[in-house]
Every structure is written in C-alpha cells, then in structure tokens.
Structure 1
C-alpha cells in the first residue's frame, strides 16, 4: 500500500500533559493571588480606573535565564521606585516568530543548539516565570503557538498577539479564551483594521479545536475576552507613534464601537529596529501622554543589560552576557534613566 501520511514527518514525540507539568512545577496560593491582582491592575489601567502608565519592558527574548533573572531583579527595584506613576511589567518572551528560519525561542530550543527539546523548554519557561514573579514583577509575553498557553498562561499577567498573527483566526480564537488582558499589534504592513477586527473577534464567544489539561484534543468554547486593546508598533511603511497616528487609531476603535485604550511600542518598526532611536520614540510617547492624551495607556520597550544585539547562531561560550540574540535592545543604564524621567514627566 502506498504511503500517504507523514511523508515529511521525521519524528512525533508526545509532550507531557499540561496538567502533569503544572503539577511538576506548581504555582502557590500566593502566586495565584499575585497573578489575579496584577491582571486586575492592568484591566483598571485599560479602562481608565487606574491612571498610571502601563510599561511593558524587558528583553526582546529570553535566551539566558540567569541573565534574565539578573535583569528582573534590577527592574523590580526601579518598578518599586516609580510605582505611583508607572506600572512596570517585564517582557518574558519565550516564542519568536521568524520571517523565514532562525532560533524560535526558549520553549522551542532551550539549549540554543537546534535540538528542539520542547519539554525542557516548557519546564524552563515555567520555572523562569515563577522566579520573575518572586521578584514582585508582573509578566508579559507574546503567545505564538496555540498549545503553549495551557502550560504557562496561569503565570502571565498580560499577553500580546504579534504583527504576523493578528490576522490569524487561530490566534483570535485563542485570545478569546485567555484569562489575562491582551493586546493585538497592527500588521507589518501597517493595517489597523486587522487589529480592530481581531479585537472584535476576540471579545466574542468562539468554539475551536484545542488541547485539554490532560493533553486530549478537544472542542473549546469560550465566553470572549473583554480586556483586549490595540498596540501600535510601526510598519514597513514607517512609524505610527505620532499624534496623528494615535488619533486615527482612536477614531477607528470608536467607530467600531470598541473602547479606545492604545498601547504604543517604542521598538520594532517604530524605531526602525534601532536601539539608538528607541529612547526618543519612548520619550515622545510619554510626552503625548503627559500632555493629556489619556487614550495612550501603555508603552513598550525592548531592554536588556547590554546595548544592541549579537549575531546568532554562535558558540554559546562566545555570547556576551546580557545581550540580545534577537532584536536590538537598549541597555540597563538607558532603561533606568528613561523610566525615572518618564515617571517625573507624568
């Protein structure tokens, strides 16, 4: 008989069930209370009850958990200092969308060697999230694979759907069932309508194929996620963080009958992926907010210990500690200065 299935599949290894991993690396009652509180604070910021600026800041991706925790401890100190004006949430990004190929993140390749030990990646991600929470910082990530949330979403305070997946029905459906506030980015071509439509879809009840806690394929029905918002991240056509861009986004949301909270990403296409340009973009976002535009509820920064990024793949013993292997990041000194300056401005 001719083979008609799995012609191009070289392996198919079962993962631990979500329930088994959560039992192996459990959250405590204190962790659960912290997650519920941090999510509610973010909801309150989105709906205007809490007037603080929501700042999502941290490495483009987590590739070295030791350096990541080093960064988290530094960030926790400055977060405490500015907590009256800014609610700081740490970027803890484990999945990286690739334009073609490349390192896909800690969950997919925790050893950074192409071995793709996903069970170990899930374990490392979950342990890392717990360590970050222990510093007192809420957590933020982009959810890329629709199965991943079953393993880590109970430890995520805020999440994002990226520019490449905002138009994806799969991700809109997934978002409708997530328990945390969530932002949809405009597409890489600058399309705001796609993000607006994504918010509409994610706030509605959806039924879709998923995986249960026991790892069984299932039909998942959701009630819809009411805590969704738009993220402006620039596009191939240029940045979109100016006052006119904010006004256009606000108008599109209002015309669609949606709430108008807007987050602006100072990295990615808004700074041309240049860490040198990122501070000025962030300062302009803060300036508009300080001048009275309360529709700007949040900002995003890519930040790590060292400035810029480094080429990868590379021998692991040659990698610079605390330096991104994906997009460029501003360094810690710049991060600290910008956060303090923005708190003073606000």
Structure 2
C-alpha cells in the first residue's frame, strides 16, 4: 500500500496553548487520488440495498458483520479478507457476510486510536498516511467482492471513506452524541446504533429516532471548508445489542423485553447482536456460544434478530502493541481465530438450510 498523500506544513502555533496545527488534504482530494470505478460504485450500491432488504424483511438471509476488532497490519487484513470472500460465496444463500474494517478505535483514556490515526503503530500519528492507507485497504476488500463496514468515530474522518461503506456502526459511547446522530442522518447506508455501556437501549432508541429525521448541522464539505450540512434523514437504522455493565443482553428474556419496547415506540424491531464486548465478557472463545444462542432464537421464529457481529482475526486472542508483533493477532480486543469463525458460520448456514428445507 502506498500512502502518498501527506499533511501540509505546519500552519499555526497557538500562543494560548501551543497547540500545533497541520493541514490535511481534503476528502475530495483523497477520493480523486483513490477513486471508485463505475463498476465498484454499482457493487457498493447493490451491497447497501442487500443490507436494507435484510433490515426490511425482504431478504430472509442473516446479516453478519465479521472481521478484526481493529485493522493494524495491511498484509494480514488482506489475507483475512481473501479468506472471508471465499467463505462469503459459499454461505451466500443464507448469510450476507460484511467485512469489518475498523480503522478508528475509541479510547476511554489513552492508547492506540487505530490505523487512520497512527498507521505506523509508533505514536507518530501520520493521519494523512493513515487515511490514505485506510481507503486503499477498503478498496482492496471491495475489489474482492466484499461489502465493507466500519465504526465512524470522528465525523471529520468519515468523508474520506463514506463512499466505500455498506454498513456503519455508531459505538456505545457515541450513540448519545448529537453530532453522530446528525452525521448518521445524512449517511447513504444503513447504520447500527449500539446500546449504551449501561446495557440499556433507551439511548440507542433515541439515536435511531433522531437519525431518521432531517437535520441542518455544522460540518465540513468535501473540499475541507466549514459548511452547513442539510440531511434528509436515514430510514435504515437499527439497534445493536452489545451487553452492558450488568452483563449480556442477548438472551431470550432481554430480547423479548426490547422487542416490546420497540413495538411500544413504533420503531421497527430489527436487532443485531454483537457477540463480543459485554455479551461475551470480552472472552473471544465465548463468542460462538452467544452466536448459537441468538441463531437458535431466530430459528425458533424471532425474525427481529436480523444479524450478528463477530470479532475475528486470522488467529485467536490479542497481544499488546509491543514489537515483535505476532502476525494476524489483534492488538485491541481479543478475536476468534478464522478457522473457528469459518466452522461457526458454515455450521450456522447448514442449520438455516435445514430449516428452509423442512
């Protein structure tokens, strides 16, 4: 991957707080440097429509967002994507697999913020290079035939790759943010809002309602200028259950309670379950148990459960961001290895086929 767009020289030093400012290329410049072909544009539009069809019950397949907790190494990310693309073709009759390409990571205090921020993993924070590398990687995944998903954390970064995405997550800590709700209202793809870290869904439900409405808000245009952004509202939002401080919220009783609340508020009851985070106690080896429990609920007739999310890398576990790094192992949350992921998804596809034949 060639990160050829760089930040412009230092523009200001604020005497008040000595904050340094480096000007980044605009999102338009990066999109022109790394453009989408007409064929890939059509492919992304078809993938977005496929996700919408699942959300609306027009497509009975399961939506599965699967891939590394975060991408830190281009080579292992492309190797994973190549394996996932082959698996996606084999299970496409029962599942739509979407590559999880997370290039931003939220931090409670400090730490590595993701490929878009620090692509060299050394604290140099070459964000211009990180944005370029992130776009290059997503384009490579799309060329393999995969839909691509990410969490949009920094609204100013979203414009550098929003045209590549088929599904977007808004995280547990940003679902309450008015800025992220406004951003989601103008996105051209489905958006999943995660429940808050307390495990309750009220904040996410409010976010879905807000994002479905038009907004006018402060923003940045494609040329990097401050702008008033006018959005039309996003009808393709849904809830993502990720558990909370009190434990999981994917069990039958929790899902039934959430279904009733969504019905009461007249909000479409379409729910994705994140098999990681608090739902698995951050133990990657427990993700298959969560997945199979939710799959069983779906097989027993709960069609509001439209999909699941799995944190998965080439190899199981995680590692600290200290050299030498083990190839294909997450440097953030622990992941399920690809072999176990493949077994899980192939077995699930066969169970779904068996029910369809019955």
Residue 330 of structure 1, CA deviation: 0.4
Partners of 1:9 and 1:161 in 2: how far apart? 32
Residue 252 of structure 1, CA deviation: 1.6
What is the SS of the residue equivalent to 1:257? coil
Query: Structure 1: 5+ residue runs without aligned partners?
Result: none
Partners of 1:249 and 1:8 in 2: how far apart? 47
Q: Corresponding residue for 2:168?
A: 159
The yes-or-no answer on 1:261 pairing with 2:270 is: yes
Say which of 137, 161, 175 aligns to 2:146: 137
CA deviation string 1:165-192 (max 9, x = no partner): 0101111011001111000000011121
Q: Corresponding residue for 2:329?
A: 323
Residue 9 of structure 1, CA deviation: 4.2
Q: Corresponding residue for 1:235?
A: 244
Residue 285 of structure 1, CA deviation: 1.1
Partners of 1:146 and 1:189 in 2: how far apart? 24
8 Å contact 1:286–1:345 — kept in the other structure? no
Q: Corresponding residue for 1:19?
A: 28
CA deviation string 1:80-137 (max 9, x = no partner): 0000001000100000001110000000111111111111001001000100001111
Residue 219 of structure 1, CA deviation: 0.7
Partners of 1:106 and 1:238 in 2: how far apart? 30
**Residues 6 and 169 (structure 1), Cα distance of their counterparts in 2 relative to 1, 3 Å cut:** farther
**Residues 9 and 194 (structure 1), Cα distance of their counterparts in 2 relative to 1, 3 Å cut:** farther
The yes-or-no answer on 1:59 pairing with 2:72 is: no
Residue 206 of structure 1, CA deviation: 0.8
The yes-or-no answer on 1:339 pairing with 2:345 is: yes
CA deviation string 1:239-273 (max 9, x = no partner): 00101111122112121111111000101110000
What is the SS of the residue equivalent to 2:64? strand
Partners of 2:262 and 2:112 in 1: how far apart? 35
Query: Structure 2: 5+ residue runs without aligned partners?
Result: 1-13, 353-358
Partners of 2:283 and 2:44 in 1: how far apart? 33
Residue 335 of structure 1, CA deviation: 0.4
Partners of 2:27 and 2:285 in 1: how far apart? 41
The yes-or-no answer on 1:215 pairing with 2:224 is: yes
Partners of 2:95 and 2:240 in 1: how far apart? 18
Task: Number of aligned residue pairs: give it.
Answer: 339
What is the SS of the residue equivalent to 1:57? strand
What is the SS of the residue equivalent to 1:252? helix
Residue 8 of structure 1, CA deviation: 2.9
Residue 287 of structure 1, CA deviation: 1.1
Q: Corresponding residue for 1:122?
A: 131
Q: Corresponding residue for 2:79?
A: 70
The yes-or-no answer on 1:84 pairing with 2:93 is: yes
Partners of 1:196 and 1:46 in 2: how far apart? 16
Partners of 2:299 and 2:15 in 1: how far apart? 57
Q: Corresponding residue for 2:155?
A: 146
The yes-or-no answer on 1:272 pairing with 2:278 is: no
Greater than 4 Å deviation, 4+ residue runs: none
The yes-or-no answer on 1:112 pairing with 2:121 is: yes
Residue 46 of structure 1, CA deviation: 0.1
TM-score, with length taken from structure 1: 0.97
TM-score, with length taken from structure 2: 0.93
Partners of 2:217 and 2:298 in 1: how far apart? 39
8 Å contact 1:287–1:345 — kept in the other structure? no
1:176-187 to 2 correspondences below 5 Å? 176-187=185-196
